[in-house]
Amino acid sequence: MKIGILTSGGDCPGLNSTIRGVCKIAMNHYDMEVYGIYNGFRGLLDDDITRLTDESTTGLLTMGGTILGTSREKLFRKRSSSINDHKSAAMLKTIEKHELDCLVCIGGTGTQKTAFDLMEAGIKVVTIPKTIDNDVWGTDMSFGFDSAVSIASDAIDRLHSTASAHQRVMVIEVMGHKTGWLALYSGMAGGGDIILLPEIPFNIHSIGDTIINRLKKGKPYSIVVVAEGIATPEGKKAAQYIAEEIEYETGFETRETVLGYIQRGGSPTAYDRNIATLMGGHAVELISSGDFGKMVALRDGRIVSVPLAEVKDKLREVTSDHDLIVQGKKMGICFG
């Protein structure tokens, strides 16, 4: 069999580990050929494909980024869920030219939707979820998330010493457009005093009261962790808005820090390397058995698969009854 593999959407730690997992098992165990498609789905449009070898995938386990490159190519019509006919024809032509039997698409929520649409167009696909936001529905965790949590938690740890030295309020903004998984996990792991998520409405007066009450208890500084996607007026950035409002509410000196793309970079954690390897291998198992139209997933500690039809239009959101939120509230942490 001939497998095409691509990485799409934003980069994150573990992409190369996953490519390695797919290639090593496909080549060494099943004697399959694997072709790397460059720059996501754009590579199918541009016929930018090369055959991968065991040698070309050596050293990928610990390497950040993706050797295949990535893009956010828009394959959909603005007012339709179907792929643009011209682009669809171009991709099908590339697949037929290289005699690819199927595609392995590695990416987040947008990639899952595109892969489903390709499946509807008659292309055999298997997907692997990738995101630092951990918002892909159907899997308990995606590779890249643990690495991002580790990076964000380390940053929060470092801000504690600065906040303590200057007796300030420090607001740190982490990624998360629509979901607050990264803010929740890094905020709890980093000892955040206030954690704000897109899924949970917040009251700026309650935040101010929390900070003032901490001062009354002899705690002269506070750490506020916010997801970038929280609701803000006038299009203001999350950390900027919260810092300004806290200063207005409390009169305390407040500083903001935006982590930005540093959360996406660098070598993946050991955990991410392992689940990336497992997910890559399971994708090949699905291909070998002819079980297409599935997304590899981690559920209850096991690597399984779920139908793309169930994944494509859903988002995995944080709920207010999540164990970390329940325990956090008991500890006195404010969630808005």
Q: Tens digit of pLDDT for each residue in 199-238?
A: 999 999 999 999 999 999 999 999 999 999 999 988 789 9
Give the length of the chain.
336
Q: Tens digit of pLDDT for each residue in 76-119?
A: 554 444 556 677 788 889 999 999 999 999 999 999 999 999 99
User: Which strands make up the sheet holding 194-196, listed edge to edge?
Assistant: 194-196, 222-227, 169-174, 254-258
Q: Which of 11, 117, 133, 146 is catalytic?
A: 133
Instruction: Give me the torsion for CA of 70, 276, 229, 140, rounded to 10°.
Output: 140
pLDDT of res. 156: 96
Q: What is the Cα–Cα distance from 150 to 268, expressed in whole angstroms?
A: 10
pLDDT of res. 72: 75
Burial of 42-56, coded b for 16+ CB within 10 Å and e otherwise, reads bbbbeeebeebeeee
CB atoms within 10 A of CB 289: 8
280: nearest Cα among 11, 9, 28, 83: 28
209 labelled catalytic? no
pLDDT of res. 327: 97
Asked if 263 contacts 227 with a C-beta cutoff of 8 angstroms, the reply is no
pLDDT of res. 76: 53
Low-confidence ranges of the chain (pLDDT < 50): 78-81
pLDDT of res. 311: 95
DSSP for 41-53, please give it: THHHHHT-EEEE-
pLDDT of res. 75: 65
pLDDT of res. 88: 76
pLDDT of res. 201: 95
2: nearest Cα among 146, 94, 99, 81: 99
pLDDT of res. 79: 44
